[in-house]
Structure 1
Amino acid sequence: MDKKLLTSKIKRRALELGFAKVGITTADDFPEYEAELHDRPGYRPWINPDRSEDPERSYLIEGVRPRGIMPGAKSIVCAVYDYSRLAYPEELTASVARAYLSRAYVPLPDSICGLRARALHDYLTSLGCRVYDGDKELPQRLCCARAGVTTYGRNNFAYAEDCGSFVILYTYLTEAELEYDAPTVRCDCPSGCRKCVEACPTGALYAPGKLAPQRCLLYSHMRDSAVPADIMEANGTLIHGCDRCQTACPRNIPVMRGAAEKDPFLELLKREFDLEKILFMDDAYYERVVRPIMYNYIRKPEVFRRNAAIAIGNTNDAGYIPALKTAIERGEPIVREAAAWALERIGGGPR
C-alpha cells in the first residue's frame, strides 16, 4: 500500500474511533526537548537515564531519540482526544481535575478510552504497521505539535483547535513510512498574557512556559511524605490534580462556555463523592468512587485520606471537627499529621 493511501486510512480510522484530531510526524530526534529538560531546575528526578534514583519512575529523557527505542522507526502517529465538551459537575471539579474525571489520561485498558487507544494501535498493526509496544514515553506534546495537531500554551499544556487545552494526547511510534503534516510548534497565547501564571496557587508555574514540578499541587497529592504548610494552605479542596492554570486561560474560556454534555457516570458519582468518606474510606468505597477517577498515580489509600484531610482543613467548616479528631486518633501517621493541621486551621484547637 502506498504511503498516501496508508496515511489516509489511518487518519480516517482515528476520527471514526472518536479522536478529535490526528496528525503524523517523523521519528526524528527531539534535541530541543532534551535541552529544555536539562535547562529546567527540579527536573532531575525525571531525566535520570539509568533509573538508579527510583526505578519505578518514567524517565522523560528516554523518548528523545525514538529510533533509540525502536530501530527502524520512521513515523509517529499522533491522536488527540477531546474531553472539553463535558459539563463536569462542580461537586467533583472542586476536588479532582478534569483530565482525571475524563478517565482518558493513561486510561485503564478495559475503559472506553483504553479500548479506543488500543483499537487505533490494533488498526495500525492490521495495516502492516509495526508499532512500538515498550514502556518508554515519547514527548507527546512536542510530537503532536510537530505533527500539526496542537500548539503550546504558556501554562505548559498542549492546545488543539476547538478543544482548548482539555485534550489527552496519544502517540504511536511505527516503522511505517507515512505522509507527514506541517508542524505547528508555536505558542498561540495572547501577547503578554500571564493569567495562568497568576492563577497558579503555589507558584509552581513561575513564568510563562516554566514549571517547578515539585511545587505543583499534583506532586503534593502524589507524595507519601509530609506536605509543606504553604502548599496545604494553597491547596483548597483539591485531592487529585489542579485545573487553575487552565480555567484561567483566555483560550479556554470559549471552550468551557460551550461545554454542555453530561457524563451519566459522573452525575452518579457526584452524589457519592464525599471528603469525609474518603478520609475514612474502606476498600469498597475506594473501588466504587475513588479508583474509577483517580487511578493514575496514587496507590496507597492513606495518601488519599491525607489529601482529604487537607481539603477538609480548607473548607473552614466546623462540622468536620469530630471527623478530624477521629482521624487524629485512628489514622495513619501522614493522615494524623494532616488532620491535626486541618483541625487547627478550622479552629478546632491546637495540636
Structure 2
Amino acid sequence: MNTDQLKQEIIDYSKEIGIDKIGFTTADVFTELKERLKRQQELGYQSGFEKGTNEERTEPKRLLPGAQSIISIAMAYPSRMRKDAPKSRKEERRGFFCRASWGMDYHDVLRDRLQKLERFIHEKVTDAVTKVMVDTGELSDRAVAERAGVGFTGKNTLLITEEFGSFVYLGELITNIPFIPDSPIEDGCGDCRKCIDACPTGAIVQGGQLNAQRCIAFLTQTKDFLPEEFRSKLGNRVYGCDTCQLVCPKNQKVDFHHHPEFEPEDDIAKPLLKPMLTISNREFKEQFGHISGSWRGKKPIQRNAIIGLGHYKDKTAVDELISIMNNDPRPVIRGTAAWSLGKIGTEEAFDAITKAMEKESDQDVLFEMEKGLAFREVQSSKG
C-alpha cells in the first residue's frame, strides 16, 4: 500500500465532499495535553461535560487498538447574519445563540463527512480499521487538529486556522493506516491578549488555560441556578458565548458561508425571549431540536431567557414571569423568575414576589425571592 498516494487521494476527496481543511497526525499519546488535563482537574477548572478518563482522552490506542494515525478535519461556519436579520426591540426582546449553534447540528454534518471519508478509505484499503469522532468523543478535537497542522491553539483555547480563524468545527478519524504526519503550525498569538482582557467573567485565566466554571459558554448549558455573579454578564445570551472569538484579530473580516447546513435561521439563532418562557417540550424539539444548542433540553434555555428579560428590564414580561413564578413545577425556573421580576422592578412585580413567598416552600426559591425583593432597596437608594 502506497500511503503517500492514498493520503493525497484522501485530501482530494475531502475537498470534493466539502471538507474545508484536513490534516494528518500520529496516534501517539498526547503527553502535554494529559498534563494539562491533570492540572485542570487539580484546579477545579473542568466543565463537567468532559467524556472519558484522562487516559482515554489522550491515548488514541485505548479507543482503537492498533491505531497508527488520526485524520483531522475542519469545516468553516458563518460569523455574521444577513444585514436585515431581526433586531431586538422594545416589547420584542430577543436572545442569542452563539455562532457555533447556528444552522444544523454540526455533529451530524461533520459525522456525515467523516463517514463518507471512512467509506472512501475502506474502498481503497479493505482491511483498514477506523473510528469516527465529533466533539462528543473522548479525544480533544482541538489537540488533534493542532498536532495535525490544521491550526494553532489561541490563548482563548480555541483552534485558529489561517484561512477561517476560529470559526471552524472539528472532527477526527482514527485509523490503523500509518500515514506520514503533517507538521504543527507555530503559535500565532504573540503578545496579543485581547481575548483574555475581553472575557466577561475572567474565565481565561492565562493564555491557553480556561476555567470552565466561569466560562459563560459552559454556564449557559448548566441546569441549576446560575450563580448571581454571572447573571449580569449573561446579557441576552441563551446559549454559548462568542466574545473571545469576536475580539480576536485573527477573526476580523472572517465570514464564510460555504455550507448551507450552517446558515443561521433568523428566529432560531435570535429567538424572541417571551415565547421561550412557555414553550412546551414538543414545541422546543420541533423548533430547536436540529441545532446543537438544544442538546441540554429547554430548561437551561428558559432559565437564560428569564435572566435575559430581567437584563432588558422588560416590563411587558411581568405577567408571564409572575405566572411562571407561581405555577412552574421546577424550582430553578420559579426562583429565576422571581429574581428577574425584582430586576425589572415594577411595584406589581415586587407585590407578586411578596405574595408568592407566603405559599412557597422551597428554600432555594425563597432565597431567590428575597434577592428579587432586594432590588427594591437598591431602587430606593438610587431614588
For 1:59, which of 52, 57, 60 is the aligned residue? Answer: 52
Tell me, in whole angstroms, the C-alpha distance in 1 between the residues paired with 2:157 and 2:274.
Answer: 33
Tell me, in whole angstroms, the C-alpha distance in 1 between the residues paired with 2:262 and 2:222.
Answer: 31
Tell me, in whole angstroms, the C-alpha distance in 2 between the residues paired with 1:274 and 1:38.
Answer: 41
Which deviations, in whole Å up to 9, do the C-alpha atoms of 1:191-224 show, x marking residues without a partner?
3222111221111112222211111113222222
- Structure with larger Rg: 2
- Aligned residue for 2:31? 31
Moved more, 62-71 or 36-45: 36-45
* TM score, norm. by length of structure 2: 0.79
Between Structure 1 and Structure 2, which shows a larger proportion of helix residues? 2
Could you tell me how far 1:43 is from its partner in structure 2? 4.1
For 1:73, give the aligned amino acid.
A
Tell me, in whole angstroms, the C-alpha distance in 2 between the residues paired with 1:94 and 1:268.
Answer: 11
Moved more, 280-289 or 237-246: 280-289
- Aligned residue for 1:245? 244
* TM score, norm. by length of structure 1: 0.86
Structure 1 residues 124 and 63 mapped into 2: Cα distance closer, same or farther (>3 Å)? farther
What root-mean-square deviation, in Å, do the aligned CA atoms of Structure 1 and Structure 2 show? 2.7
- Aligned residue for 1:223? 222
- Aligned residue for 2:179? 178
Retained in 1: the 8 A contact 2:69–2:176? yes
- Aligned residue for 1:277? 275
Structure 1 residues 249 and 343 mapped into 2: Cα distance closer, same or farther (>3 Å)? same
SS at match of 1:15: helix
- Aligned residue for 1:116? 113
Unaligned segments of structure 2, at least 5 residues = 89-93, 351-371, 374-383
SS at match of 1:148: coil
SS at match of 2:182: coil
Structure 1 residues 152 and 43 mapped into 2: Cα distance closer, same or farther (>3 Å)? same
SS at match of 1:142: helix
Q: Is it true that 1:155 corresponds to 2:152 in the alignment?
A: no
Unaligned segments of structure 1, at least 5 residues = 47-55
Retained in 2: the 8 A contact 1:313–1:346? yes
Structure 1 residues 307 and 151 mapped into 2: Cα distance closer, same or farther (>3 Å)? same
Structure 1 residues 33 and 195 mapped into 2: Cα distance closer, same or farther (>3 Å)? same
Tell me, in whole angstroms, the C-alpha distance in 2 between the residues paired with 1:90 and 1:244.
Answer: 20
Give runs of aligned pairs for residues 90-101 of structure 1, distance below 5 A: 94-101=95-102
Could you tell me how far 1:284 is from its partner in structure 2? 3.7
Could you tell me how far 1:99 is from its partner in structure 2? 0.6
Q: Is it true that 1:76 corresponds to 2:70 in the alignment?
A: yes
Tell me, in whole angstroms, the C-alpha distance in 2 between the residues paired with 1:133 and 1:174.
Answer: 9
For 1:326, which of 323, 326, 329 is the aligned residue? Answer: 323
Could you tell me how far 1:136 is from its partner in structure 2? 4.5
Structure 1 residues 252 and 91 mapped into 2: Cα distance closer, same or farther (>3 Å)? same
Tell me, in whole angstroms, the C-alpha distance in 2 between the residues paired with 1:3 and 1:37.
Answer: 33
Retained in 2: the 8 A contact 1:213–1:219? yes
For 1:219, give the aligned amino acid.
F
For 2:17, give the aligned amino acid.
L
SS at match of 1:314: helix
Retained in 1: the 8 A contact 2:77–2:259? no
Moved more, 34-43 or 267-276: 267-276
For 2:277, give the aligned amino acid.
L
Tell me, in whole angstroms, the C-alpha distance in 2 between the residues paired with 1:162 and 1:271.
Answer: 24
For 2:65, give the aligned amino acid.
P
For 2:52, give the aligned amino acid.
Y
Tell me, in whole angstroms, the C-alpha distance in 2 between the residues paired with 1:113 and 1:178.
Answer: 21
Retained in 2: the 8 A contact 1:77–1:171? yes
- Aligned residue for 2:360? none
Could you tell me how far 1:254 is from its partner in structure 2? 2.2
